[in-house]
Copies of this chain bind each other. A is one copy, B any other.
């Protein structure tokens, strides 16, 4: 991209291009190894312009985390249609999640791995996104349980725990799927759906697995 184009482009558009380039470089190289020179070059702008717009490497990274976290949350939310049955909502949500993380592997690396590896400030940005997703999933599970039987014997705390388990499973599987050749978004979503649905499906209908009595546990309180 030439200097003429640089001058004509509105600041907002130019900033998005810088963020596009930064997400790719941060995702590929990692936060520490990523260089502002390389980001500026990929964005087709001068390094001083990146600093002028985004201030510092820290602020640029924070802007990347925020933009990509918000895009991921939006993708999952908009993938789920509330008028469909509970298993279909779960499937659509999982598919939206894995489709997004597969289509944007650098963005996923930025929000999930890089953001959590380079200090507490960045980790807090990623944690805020995670909380939004957990809240959304908690709501989905609670609604599913309410629909399945009018007497809600799935306590609020149990629902919160299940949402944490499901989100943790999805995160872990997305990292693995992106690192494993030939695993598609659809396959990853199907693996987790298979894992989760029979369990969640039974639970939301009031059928649960019973642990052996405590005295019978192998050496644990």
How near does chain B come to A70, taking the closest CB pair, in angstroms? 18
Describe A's contact surface by its main secondary structure: helix
Chain A interface (Cβ < 8 Å from any Cβ of B): 30, 32, 78-81, 87-88, 91-92, 95-96, 99, 103, 116-120, 123, 157-158, 160-162, 164-173, 175-177, 180, 183, 185-203, 208-209, 211-212, 214, 217-221
A79-B219, A99-B221, A212-B91 as given contacts; A165 in contact with B169, CB under 8 Å = yes
- Cβ-neighbour of A217 out of B30, B95, B167 (below 8 A): B95
Shortest 6 CB-CB contacts between residues of A and residues of B: A168-B172, A165-B169, A99-B220, A169-B169, A161-B191, A199-B199
A211: chain B residues at CB < 8 Å are 91, 95, 186, 189-190, 193
Whether the pair A186, B201 counts as a contact (CB closer than 8 A) is no
Whether the pair B164, A195 counts as a contact (CB closer than 8 A) is no
> What would be 17 A-B contacts, judged by CB atoms less than 8 Å apart?
A32-B120, A79-B219, A88-B212, A91-B212, A92-B217, A95-B211, A96-B220, A116-B116, A116-B117, A117-B120, A161-B176, A165-B192, A165-B195, A168-B171, A190-B209, A194-B208, A195-B200
